[in-house]
Structure 1
């Protein structure tokens, strides 16, 4: 079993916050580019899917940054247990531990 998130590990949490902030900036720039690009009319569906995926990514990142700011980062929203750090290193915007995510079906 992995190490649970230690909210006292400020250095690690600062690194997570910095990485999420950088991802937020990248995704915001991507969304700006996607919505400004008129592109090929034949690829409207593809562009719409990219815009939707980018917006979803921004929502996930914003949620993780909010949980960090509120001191709830790394706590499963399903069972309130601390999540293993390894899970958050792989999926920094994770809201649920693996068992709870499995029960949710996604």
Structure 2
């Protein structure tokens, strides 16, 4: 069984965040193009607005996570200050809170 060092895990999580940032950015660009078309790319205007807002929020969340990573505060719960478990970060790499604190929010 291979164990990953903290640096390995951080590098893997950074790669995951960077992939998510690219995905959200590409989705936002594509949706923006649709929103400027007369028929909105065949999408319902309200649905399109919600999708755009979701993509924008994704970009913002991932950008903030990458900023926390560069500042050294990534993986620390913003509410209680405890470490966020790696398993949670692997599922939700932009997580800002541990599960108990997130449930209280």
Same fold (TM over 0.5): yes
Task: Determine which structure has greater relative contact order: mean sequence separation of CA pairs < 8 Å that are 6+ residues apart, divided by chain length.
Answer: 1
Q: Which runs of 5+ in 2 are unaligned?
A: none
CA distance in 2, matches of 1:48, 1:62: 21
CA distance in 1, matches of 2:77, 2:25: 27
TM-score (norm. length: structure 2): 0.85
What is the root-mean-square deviation in Å for CA atoms of aligned residues?
1.5
TM-score (norm. length: structure 1): 0.85
Shift of 1:36: 1.0
Q: Tell me the SS of whatever aligns to 2:10.
A: helix
How many corresponding residue pairs?
Answer: 97
Q: Which runs of 5+ in 1 are unaligned?
A: 1-7
Structure 1 ranges of 4+ moved more than 6 A: none
